[in-house]
Amino acid sequence: MAGEAEGGVRSVVRALDLLDLYDERNQRYTTRELVGLTGLAKTTVLRLVGTLEQRGLLWTGPDGRVGAGPGLLRWARLAHAIWQVPETIRAIMRELTVETSETVNLYVRADTVRVCVAQEEGPQRLRHVVNTGEEMPLWGGAASKVLLVGAPTSVVRRVAAASPQGPRYADRLLTEIADARTRGFAVSHGEREHGASGVAAPVYGAQGGPTPVAALAVGGPTARFTEAAVRVFGGAVSEAAERIGRIGFDPASGNTDSHEKEKR
């Protein structure tokens, strides 16, 4: 039974990894391409594609190329309903964009990655843009340090192990997380992407607690993130994050509190 369970989990992971190959730039693949990208046997890929097609998650066109299926529309509606950021919070993000002239993002942590759930683009022509729904590793970036505040040490060590520095990065990462907790915001320069910098502050849930529910961040070219600018950004982001926390951003409960306050 244990072997069957492990095999079932492995099949699920493989199916999810296969779906993860698709994005706006890579919308359709041939079976041969899927075999090459996954490193799986052709029979395994065909079996996975067949199962996902039965559930409507993949679709094979007349030319034999495999793309996203119509069943994903239901999942997209569900995700949009749960993760749609209320207008009251969007307004705070827009105000922060005006105040800093930089792009503003709202991130949440999903185990060892962070996901962008909302963005307000900055007004400057040269700016740093992250697609909504995009996953990024937690080993780099100001938002990552903030999201790891209160996280178990075991999670931090797994994040470090996946970093370019390897497991030895854990001690430094733990120190930077502690600094972010004490300072109230985190700063990063070129950690995940050369030439890009960020300042992020924690957003705590309406019920409080030691672990942030999200991270609010401003990001842009490193040249604009001088010491003076970082001081200003740190204060502005922290204040905006506190305002969002008072509204009660809590995706786990469907943002009920936020919508009710928005109505009132």
Q: Does position 1 have pLDDT exceeding 50, yes or no?
A: no
3-class SS at 213?
coil
Closest CA to 215 of 255, 192, 181: 181
Annotated domain spans of the chain = 2-71, 84-263
Q: How many CA within 13 A on the CB side of residue 26?
A: 11
Cα–Cα distance, 253 to 251 (Å, whole number): 5
Q: Could you check whether 2-71 and 84-263 share the same CATH topology?
A: no
Cα–Cα distance, 19 to 58 (Å, whole number): 8
Rounded to an integer, the average pLDDT of 154-169 is 95
Cα–Cα distance, 47 to 42 (Å, whole number): 9
CB 258 within 8 A of CB 247: yes
Beta-bridge partners for 105: 119, 217
3-class SS at 184?
coil
The DSSP H or E segment spanning 58 is: strand 58-60
β-bridge pairing 103-110 and 196-203: unpaired
Q: Which fold has domain 2-71?
A: Arc Repressor Mutant, subunit A (1.10.10)
**Residue 37, phi then psi, degrees to nearest 5:** -75, -35
Q: Using one digit for the tens of pLDDT, what is the confidence trace for 91-150?
A: 999 999 999 999 999 999 999 999 999 999 999 888 777 888 888 999 999 999 999 999
Q: Using one digit for the tens of pLDDT, what is the confidence trace for 24-66?
A: 889 999 999 999 999 999 999 999 999 999 999 999 999 999 9
What pTM was computed for the model? 0.80
Q: Which fold has domain 84-263?
A: Beta-Lactamase (3.30.450)
